[in-house]
Structures are given as structure tokens and as C-alpha cells.
């Protein structure tokens, strides 16, 4: 048999091992997708588009109307792109991969603020670039600038930003984004800004786009999508916008691979961007869950977590329980019927577990009760 790509087996499978759907009696704090239905007007627009015959090939970048709607949406964050420099891709994930394919060469080093969402690491390896995991501060999961400066070498080519962050729930302060832009400028780096959780900020400080800063605009590739605040994970819709030279490459990547996202998904994607009430309602629910979850967890001896500032994750330090995070997650599932993600599936995630609050208050309350009882029983 001919040899396969030598690096393919070195890619991790992320959280997969801990995402297996458990039996019904298990409370799942693992899933990173909203537990809401896609808003009805979006679903209706998709049905209408199918009925009206939008079945054929179309503009690779996405319809002009949709690209304009994305450009208009990004104005909300003071980022201004021409619709010609916007492309709609099959998910934020695919858009990230395009950004890497266009901006990186083999052996280029890319900084990740760690623990980082595992797909970045795997995607970078797919394009033969080298992920460099730089540990964030443990007390608040914000960037450690000394560590970032120390990690930079002549081969460093980019930094990936994800704020609000999966898995930490941190939202970086405007000053931190400015410092990152400054570092990128000094070392001539690309910034891949994964802003998929930008509308899920609960802290007083908002999401700040590096592309909204004069020094950041020409080196930032902005990537986001419909999965989270519009509850559209299965629709596979994401966007990418950036400097013209990058976007020409991105258009080439898409034209020669996916061609485009399904034609009949373009009108509903546009409808989603026009909604106000439905995303607001989901936001309010997440915000309430975050407060309840954090309060219940902080009453449990042995667990410590900063208040999440955004997204829908709490990253909990379990070191005081005396267990490592893999043992903690496995035993919690077996003995207390609660499923969580162990942090050491990500570099610098040791002794942490990620809990998602994309689930009901009832589940959050019951899950925390089980964790508390279980720890009381097994901890001296």
C-alpha cells in the first residue's frame, strides 16, 4: 500500500474521547454548542430558499448580499471591510484553515495562548506550521506578556487570538489587545482573530477587534461565524475578512475546495444577522447560567475558578482535590454521572477541567449537587 501523509497521525482528535454521548442519566457539561433551536425566522428563510429553487452553483465567495451583511455586522465592532474582502466559508473552522493556508509556510511558528481550543494545534500541523503554546496566567487566564515575548523567535509568523475564549472564558482587556497588536507590529506577525464568541461578553469590558486599531488592520484576519449566538452549529457557516492580498488567497482556497457554502443557506444566514430579539434572549440565558454555575461551583471545597467573562465555559482548577484532571473526569463520570472535559487534552491545561454551561439551569444545579456530594464522599 502507498504511504499516507506522514504528519496526519500526529494530529490530535481534540476533545473527542470525552464527547461521546453518555447514557441518559449523565449530566453533560461537555458540549460546546447552544442547547437552543436555531431561531424560527432563519429556518423559515432556508425552507423558502429551497422552495424557490436556489439549488445550483453560485458566487464562490458567498452572495454579494450576504457578504455585505457580514461587512455590515462587523461594523458593530468598529471594523470596516469592503464586502469584496469578505468570504463565507463552511464554518469558522474552515475559515481558520483557509487563513493558515494563505498566511503560513511550512515550519512557520504560530503562538497560541494556552490552554487553547485544540483544533488550532491540529490545523496548524495540517498546514505543516508549528504551534507554540504560551501559557496564560493561571489566576485569570489572561495573557502573560513576558511569556509571549520569550516565545517569539525569528520563525514566529502569527498569533491566534480568541477572546472571548474557549476553553477559559476570558475576555481580554482592550489594553491587552493593544499590547498584542503592538507585539505583532514589532515582530511583523499576522493576527488570526477568532471572534466566534464576540457577542457573548458578560464583563464590563467589551470584545475589542485588533482590526479596529490602525496598527492592527493590515495584519489581522478576522474569522467568525453563525454557530454560537445564532445557535446554528449544524449549518456550517462562518466568515473570514481581511486585507485584500490575504482575501485573494482565501478566495482561491475556497474556489478550489468547497466552491461555496450551500446556495440555499445564504438567505437564512442573512436573516440571522438581522435578528435582535432572539440572540438577546439567548445571551440573557447564558448570562444567568454563568452566575448560577459559578456561584454553585465556588461553594464546593476543592474547586476554584475565576468568574468567566465571556463565551459559555468555566475552566475549573481541581488541583486541591489531589486528583489529576483525567482521573477527575473519568471518576466523576463513573461515580457521579457528570461529564466534563479534562484540561490536559490541551498543552498547559493540566489540573483544569472545562465545564460548559450550554445547558439548562436545572442541569447545572443537579450537576453541581452531584459533584459536591461526590467530592464530600471521597475527599478527606
Ligand X SMILES: Cc1ncc(COP(=O)(O)O)c(C=O)c1O
Alpha-carbon span 276 to 76, nearest angstrom: 13
For residue 82, the minimal CB distance to ligand X (Å) is: 23
From the list 90-98, 144-152, 173-181, 286-294, the region that binds ligand X by CB under 6 A is 90-98
Q: Among the residues of the chain, which ranges form H helices?
A: 40-51, 64-75, 92-103, 118-126, 145-151, 174-187, 244-255, 266-274, 277-298, 325-331, 361-378
Q: Which of 233, 254, 359, 363 binds ligand X (CB under 6 A)?
A: 233
Q: Which of 66, 114, 123, 196 binds ligand X (CB under 6 A)?
A: 196
- 9 or 20, CB closer to ligand X? 20
DSSP 232-255: -GGG--EEEE--HHHHHHHHHHHH
- 79 or 300, CB closer to ligand X? 79
166 binds ligand X (CB under 6 A): yes
Residues 6+ apart with CB under 8 A from 81: 71, 74, 211, 222, 241, 242
Q: Are 167 and 306 in contact (CB under 8 A)?
A: no
From the list 45-53, 65-73, 91-99, 211-219, the region that binds ligand X by CB under 6 A is 91-99
For residue 311, the minimal CB distance to ligand X (Å) is: 8
121 binds ligand X (CB under 6 A): no
Angle at 61 between CA 55 and CA 63, to 5 degrees: 55
Q: Which residue is it, cell 445564532?
A: 230
For residue 157, the minimal CB distance to ligand X (Å) is: 20
For residue 33, the minimal CB distance to ligand X (Å) is: 7
> What residues numbered 139-158 form the site for ligand X, per CB under 6 A?
none
Q: Which of 28, 73, 83, 93 binds ligand X (CB under 6 A)?
A: 93
Q: Which of 216, 238, 302, 343 binds ligand X (CB under 6 A)?
A: 238
92 binds ligand X (CB under 6 A): yes
269 binds ligand X (CB under 6 A): no
From the list 57-65, 86-94, 321-329, 350-358, the region that binds ligand X by CB under 6 A is 86-94
Alpha-carbon span 355 to 329, nearest angstrom: 11
- 92 or 371, CB closer to ligand X? 92
Number of CB atoms found within 10 A of residue 200's CB:
24
225 binds ligand X (CB under 6 A): yes
83 binds ligand X (CB under 6 A): no
168 binds ligand X (CB under 6 A): no
254 binds ligand X (CB under 6 A): no
Alpha carbon distances (Å) from 25 to 17, 320, 341, 363, 380: 19, 27, 18, 11, 27
Reference 170, options 314, 351, 310; nearest CA is 310
- 162 or 263, CB closer to ligand X? 162
Residues 6+ apart with CB under 8 A from 234: none
DSSP 3-state of 164: coil
- The DSSP symbol for 304 reads B
63 binds ligand X (CB under 6 A): no
194 binds ligand X (CB under 6 A): yes
- 127 or 196, CB closer to ligand X? 196
Phi, psi of 152 (to 5 degrees): -80, 130
Strand partners, 114: 135
91 binds ligand X (CB under 6 A): yes
Q: Which of 38, 227, 254, 339 binds ligand X (CB under 6 A)?
A: 227
Q: Which of 61, 63, 156, 162 binds ligand X (CB under 6 A)?
A: 162
The burial class, CB within 10 Å (0-12 / 13-18 / 19+), for 70 is buried
Alpha-carbon span 242 to 207, nearest angstrom: 18
Residues contributing to the site for ligand X (CB under 6 A)? 32, 91-93, 117, 162, 166, 194, 196, 225, 227, 233, 238
Amino acid at each position: 500500500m502507498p504511504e499516507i501523509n506522514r504528519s496526519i497521525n500526529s494530529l490530535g482528535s481534540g476533545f473527542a474521547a470525552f464527547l461521546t454521548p453518555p447514557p441518559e442519566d449523565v449530566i453533560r457539561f461537555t458540549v460546546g454548542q447552544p442547547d437552543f433551536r436555531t431561531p424560527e425566522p432563519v429556518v423559515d428563510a432556508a425552507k423558502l430558499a429551497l422552495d424557490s429553487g436556489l439549488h445550483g452553483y453560485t458566487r464562490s465567495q458567498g452572495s454579494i448580499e450576504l457578504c455585505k451583511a457580514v461587512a455590515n455586522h462587523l461594523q458593530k465592532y468598529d471594523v470596516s471591510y469592503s464586502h469584496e474582502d469578505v468570504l463565507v466559508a463552511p464554518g469558522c473552522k474552515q475559515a481558520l484553515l483557509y487563513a493558515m493556508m494563505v498566511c503560513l509556510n511550512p515550519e512557520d511558528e504560530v503562538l497560541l495562548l494556552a490552554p487553547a481550543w485544540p483544533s488550532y494545534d491540529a490545523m496548524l500541523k495540517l498546514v505543516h506550521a508549528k504551534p507554540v503554546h504560551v501559557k496564560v496566567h493561571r489566576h485569570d487566564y489572561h495573557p502573560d506578556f513576558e511569556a509571549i515575548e520569550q516565545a517569539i523567535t525569528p520563525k514566529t509568523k502569527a498569533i491566534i487570538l480568541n477572546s472571548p475564549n474557549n476553553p477559559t472564558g476570558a475576555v481580554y482587556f482592550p489594553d491587552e489587545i493593544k499590547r498584542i497588536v503592538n507585539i505583532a507590529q514589532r515582530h511583523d506577525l499576522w493576527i488570526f482573530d477568532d471572534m466566534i464568541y464576540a457577542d457573548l461578553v458578560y464583563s464590563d469590558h467589551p470584545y475589542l477587534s485588533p482590526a479596529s486599531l490602525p496598527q492592527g488592520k493590515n495584519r489581522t484576519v478576522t474569522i467568525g461565524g453563525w454557530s454560537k449566538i445564532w445557535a446554528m452549529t449544524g449549518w456550517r457557516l462562518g466568515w473570514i475578512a481581511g486585507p485584500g492580498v490575504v482575501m485573494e488567497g482565501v478566495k482561491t482556497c475556497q474556489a478550489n475546495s468547497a466552491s461555496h457554502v450551500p446556495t440555499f443557506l445564504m438567505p437564512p444566514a442573512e436573516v440571522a444577522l438581522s435578528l435582535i430579539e432572539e440572540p438577546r434572549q439567548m445571551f440573557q440565558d447564558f448570562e444567568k447560567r454563568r452566575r448560577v454555575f459559578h456561584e454553585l461551583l465556588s461553594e464546593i471545597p476543592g474547586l476554584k475558578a475565576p468568574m468567566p467573562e465571556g463565551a459559555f465555559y468555566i475552566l475549573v482548577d481541581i488541583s486541591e482535590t489531589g486528583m489529576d484532571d483525567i482521573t477527575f473526569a473519568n471518576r466523576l463520570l463513573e461515580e457521579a454521572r457528570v461529564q466534563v472535559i479534562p484540561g490536559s487534552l490541551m498543552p498547559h491545561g493540566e489540573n483544569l477541567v472545562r465545564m460548559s454551561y450550554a445547558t439548562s439551569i436545572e442541569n447545572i444545579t443537579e450537576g453541581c449537587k452531584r459533584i459536591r456530594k461526590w467530592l464530600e464522599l471521597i475527599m478527606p
